[in-house]
Structure 1
Amino acid sequence: MSHSRSWRIGKVSRVAVALLGTGVLLVGCASNGDDSGTDTTNTSGDVVTGMVNEQPDPGDAVAGGTMTYGVQVLVPSLDPTKTAARGGSGGEAFAAVYDVLMSYDTASGEFEPKLAQSLDTSDDGSTWRLKLRDGVKFSDGSALDANAVIASIDRYNAGKGNGAELWLASVESAQASGPTTVDFKLKTPWMRFPSMLALGHGMIVAPSSQQGDKFTAVGAGPFTEDLFTPSVERIFKANPSYYGGAPKLDKLRMVALNGPQANLESLNSGQLDVAYIRGLTSAINSAKSAGYPGYIDVLNAGSAEIVNNREGRPGSDVRVRQAIGYALDTTLIDQRVENGEGLPGSELFGPTSQWHVDTPGIAYDPEKAKELLNQAKADGYDGTLDYVVLSEPKDHAIGLAVQSLLQAVGFEVNLILANNAGDIVQNVYVKHDFDLAHAGIGMYESILDLGLFSTTNSTSMANTAGYANPAMDQLIADLQQAKDNSSTLAIIGKIQTLWNETVPSAPIGGLTSFWAWQKNVHGVVPTATGIMLFDQAWMGAK
């Protein structure tokens, strides 16, 4: 085994840009950011990612107080198998209770031990040894040892938590080689394996949590659950026995408000200490200009039109999918919706991404779209599409723009407005009752393999589009085994080429998010998928 203590996921020079439980994300209630940590420039304007409006040295930390954080969704359960751990939509709640074995340094692009003491790999990345910190205990007083880690991971996979399919396809065994040591044997080398221990698999649930059908959230994180009022708030209290030392905060309070503008207004009024401002460029720019410190990030392909590829749907015909792709002018959509301030593009990984390649996305070509659509119509297709869009101002504007572009090439688009995110979940993600839907494809910087596998692999339950292509499955497998950045980028280029040819769905742009906080807030640390860690957070005098 080597003795490296952190792993670089791959920072390369950059060019000048959940759904709950799945890899595809709701956008109208908008989407989270990715994990890049570098200043970059986009053709439609300056896009600065990473920490912004950084604060001067605040001095000694102050203990006490309740920090209020405005999130996207208050998850109904703190069981990590029930909801994908993502920033703003459940990830912070899980991290508060369970912590994470590995954390992602958004500035360096490296995974580093957190709850774990170390994670070492063999030379080829086919075996990994996890060493736990000595003496760590769950909040119920029981030991967080190797057996507890294995039991938690087994439980997570059995419960089909987000990423379980990829884990089971990739990991041959997990065995305790000592009281605080776990050895993972992989089926093939995988240098980005540490990313799997930064999300659900790395959030270790105590054996006492599951008592028959009853689940109680017991972890070794910095907080324990105090109060939950559905759709209103979730409150956590400090865990005095936390291995990193008792948190400075007395309590951490999470509330879900009505979107990014409401979060900004509540931040401005002082009702929020930390606000998740997601996907609304005007609100993000306003918060940034106001001098709020925080973290800005971009979710690759965070805005997309999901095409239902299943039999019986228009999208089962590749010509229809191609026609949709060629019909969408992403720059025009951005002008109508974001006044040209967004990150339009049809590629999977936009210019702010370390995974951006020279292969462009599918090009806007209305004449080609008409030709393909006419071919499909000649074979009996009537040209209609049932298009599901969330009835929220930004999404509705996107829906109208997309409808107009598709109808301009000969489609007849029935715009179906969903009243809330729950309706989108049921119709699109559960029942698959749609032809086209506006949502997002979750291509996070830090979990490259999981994002592509979840949304595109033919065996993935999170493949909302129902796309199935053996050639794409093989490319995703090849990507996982890539040993360095250059080979990774070469395979991403091939994936983009095949995507352009088969159009599983149609990305229309990246999605920017800003986790902004008051100037008296300190010690909030971003990790994978925009999850904010609060174990070192504290508040000074206002």
Structure 2
Amino acid sequence: MTPPRTPRTAFALVVALALVTSSCASSDDAEKKAGGPTVGAFAPGLVNVPEDAEAVDGGTITLGSYAEPLELDPVKTIVAGTTGGTEMAAVYDVLMRWDEEEQAVVPQLAESLTPNEDHTTWELTLRPDVTFSDGTTLGAEAVRWSIDRYLEQGGHDAAVWSHNVTDMQVTGDLTLELTLERPWPSFDSLFTTGIGMVVAKGSDAGEQFRPIGAGPFVFEDRTPQERMTFTTNPDYFDGKPALDTLEFVYIVDPNALWDTFGQGDVSMAIMRDPILVEEALSEETPGYLQMVGAGVTGLINSKEGYPGSDVRVRQAIQMAVDPELVNERANGGAGVVSSSLFPETSRFHQDGVEGLPHDPEEARKLVQAAKADGFDGKITYLQGSSPQQRDIGLAVKAQLDAVGFEAEAEFLPSITDLITRVVVDGDYDMSTWALSWRDSAPYARMFGINHSEGGTGYGTVSSPEMDQLIEDFQAAATDEAQLAAAEALQTGWNELVPAMVLGPTAELVVWQPEVGGVQTNSNTMVLLDDAWAS
């Protein structure tokens, strides 16, 4: 296997763009809808989906996406439902998928992925007679080529793969053996995203990349900033899909997209605005809800010479800021807030295991102690310039000032400017961001941002102790062990405070009552090979 290269700066910017936009998705209207759902209504999974609907053949599903992917290449595009993951899954499928109802990874394009007793060796078995849409065979060599390509070109999960996988051997026409450095019981979750999207060799044969996969649909054409069209793959391994065509449309304004859905002009839509998500849940709209842990955060630069190099400053930031107040100012109180890495909506949540509390008095003492050792109290919080981002920035600034900081909220003209400051220049004190720890597979994102070898922490603090806590979480094989590891991780986080955590983000894929057969996957992706529209 060819060793992976360091991810390219251009791709790092794409990753950062996805994380920043994840942290600040809201409409400009922060007026809370009366009688909105409680925290309990934000339980992840399929919501309001009728059980007695009958499938029909033919028709088109039009899905209003959250953001348009620049390229249908799982190496270059973040594989999540909000960034083009559902479009790419239509072309490539995934070797494994996350079943939200079963709370388990199950086979999709692959026949099985089976570990040994201690989860250090896994055998990937492929289905027989599967072909790419160009007629070539999808076998073990094709999978190895696709994974090597992903690693060589620095795909999003290349670092976590190289940190863990020591060997990949083709052991038969349809089998591969994967050897790991350490136990990883949830290793199969990695095959629900980019690494699990098998790209055909023919995709790279010409001067420009062509999306060729073995998925249920074939890319037809696109009109940039407007729509993308797919036709069915008649040779899909599980039979020709029921749909005739699949369309994705790109409506930037979330309110306009919600209105378009309400008028019946799109069959499905992806919503992240907390006010609109609450409205959809209140109206009992069918859909698939995922809660993204630590989706609203503030990165804290811990490099020498920056305020966050002092742990007392980092702890004071978290305890000075009230997540409830920030959310009330920015979103009218819609959604769920919490300083916990694993809030009430998480399957890893435990009563009594919480983030640092809102405690202005203790924050004030910490700031005073830091000042006694030379800290001048000055700190700048980077934000975008939308009305919602301004509301967050001003709310955070006011609360930091109240405990003795001299805070400034700096509103940059664009998200690109913000990313340049954080990722390229590394010149910031605090910045809006999203850790995006997804319950289906949180380890990969934990590693990327918070492990010392992850490569996408952008100046946030790490430590040998935090590395070990993350690896302990990775190795936990039972529910009991996972909860114990989550508790230890939260305790360690409260001591180190790599970032300010304000709450999770709700991501909701909604569909019309006449749509059915939608399957869940990780990262708020949906699979549409069994989907239909009456």
TM-score normalised by L of structure 1: 0.89
2:322 aligned partner: 329
How far is the alpha carbon of 1:24 from its aligned partner?
A: 4.1
Provide Cα deviations, 1:16-68, integer angstroms capped at 9, x if missing partner. xx98436945335529xxxxxxxxx9976643432222225232412133x22
> 1:289/1:369 Cα in 2 relative to 1: closer, same or farther (>3 Å)?
closer
Contact 2:220 2:229 in 1 (8 A): yes
Query: Match for residue 29 of structure 2?
Result: none
Quote the residue 1:37 is aligned against: none
What SS class does the counterpart of residue 346 from structure 2 fall into? coil
CA contact (8 A) 1:227 1:234 kept: yes
Paired residues of 1:20 and 1:89 also in contact (CA < 8 A): no
Q: CA deviation at 1:259?
A: 4.1
**1:337 partner letter:** A
Q: 2:279 aligns with which of 286, 294, 306?
A: 286
Bigger shift: 373-382 or 143-152?
A: 373-382
Q: Which has the higher helix share?
A: 2
Aligned 1:166-185 pairs, distance under 5 A: 166-185=160-179
1:384 aligned to which of 378, 382, 392: 378
Task: Classify the secondary structure of the residue corresponding to 1:387.
Answer: strand
1:107-256 matches, cutoff 5 A: 107-211=101-205, 214-256=208-250
Is 1:53 aligned to 2:19, yes or no? no
Q: How does 1:129-528 map to 2 (within 5 A)?
A: 129-211=123-205, 214-280=208-274, 282-357=275-350, 358-528=352-522
Secondary structure at 2:408's aligned position in 1? strand
Q: Take 2:154 and 2:55, find their aligned partners in 1: how far apart are those partners?
A: 43
Separation of aligned partners in 1, 2:464 and 2:37: 34
SS of residue in 1 equivalent to 2:188: helix
Taking only aligned residues, the RMSD between alpha carbons, in angstroms, comes to 2.2
| Post-superposition offset of 1:214 | 3.4
Quick check: 2:302–2:309 contact (8 Å CA) kept in 1?
Answer: yes
Distance 2:301 2:253 in 1: 27
Q: 1:30 to 1:501 in 2, by over 3 A?
A: same
Q: Deviation per CA, 1:82-112, whole angstroms, max 9, x where unpaired?
A: 1221112121122111100001100111111
Paired with 2:273 and 2:303, the residues of 1 have a C-alpha distance of 29
Name the CA shift for 1:312/1:238 in 2 (closer, same or farther; >3 Å): farther
Q: Is the Cα contact below 8 Å between 1:42 and 1:352 reproduced in 2?
A: no
CA distance in 2: counterparts of 1:133 and 1:76, whole angstroms: 31
Partner SS for 1:21 = helix
Indicate if the aligned counterparts of 1:465 and 1:505 stay in contact, CA closer than 8 A.
Answer: no
Instruction: Specify the code of the residue in structure 1 equivalent to 2:94.
Output: V
The equivalent of 1:81 in structure 2 is 75
CA contact (8 A) 2:23 2:297 kept: no
Question: In the alignment, residue 324 of structure 1 is paired with which amino acid?
Answer: I
Deviations 1:121-164 (A, max 9, x none): 21221111111111111111110000111111111111121111
Change (3 A) 1:79 1:487: same
Q: Secondary structure at the match of 1:263?
A: helix
Task: Measure how far apart 1:361 and its partner are.
Answer: 0.4
- TM-score, normalising length from structure 2? 0.90
The answer to whether the Cα contact below 8 Å between 1:127 and 1:185 also exists between their aligned partners in 2 is: yes
For residues 222 and 390 of structure 1, the distance between their equivalents in structure 2, rounded to whole angstroms, comes to 39
**Residue identity opposite 2:129 in structure 1:** G
Q: How big is the shift at 1:258?
A: 2.6
In 2, the alpha carbon distance for the partners of 1:149 and 1:26 equals 32
> What do the CA deviations read for 1:362-414 (whole angstroms, capped 9, x no partner)?
11111221222223333333322222222233333222211111111122222
Residues 192 and 45 of structure 1: is their aligned pair in 2 closer, same or farther, counting only changes over 3 Å?
closer
Output one character per residue of 1:284-334: Cα deviation in whole Å (capped at 9) or x when no partner.
222233342111221111111111222332212222211111111112223
Measured in 1, the distance between the counterparts of 2:114 and 2:180 equals 13
Q: Which residue of 2 aligns with 1:14?
A: none
Structure 1 position 512, deviation (Å): 1.6
Alpha carbons of 1:58 and 1:270: their partners in 2 closer, same or farther (altered >3 Å)?
A: same
In the alignment, is residue 63 of structure 1 matched against residue 34 of structure 2? no
Shift of 1:215: 1.9
Q: Which amino acid aligns with 1:136?
A: V
8 Å CA contact 1:455, 1:462 repeated in 2: yes
CA contact (8 A) 1:19 1:26 kept: no
Q: Distance in 2 between matches of 1:496 and 1:135?
A: 47
1:98 aligns with 2:92: yes
Stretches of structure 1 lacking an aligned partner (at least 5 in a row): 1-17, 32-40
Checking the alignment, whether the CA contact within 8 Å between 2:23 and 2:296 is kept in structure 1 is no
**Structure 2 Cα separation of the partners of residues 182 and 276 of structure 1:** 36
1:30 paired to 2:30: no
1:35 counterpart residue number: none
Q: 1:464 to 1:269 in 2, by over 3 A?
A: farther
- Asked whether the 8 Å contact 1:50–1:297 carries over to 2, the reply is yes
How far apart are 1:73 and its partner, in Å? 1.4
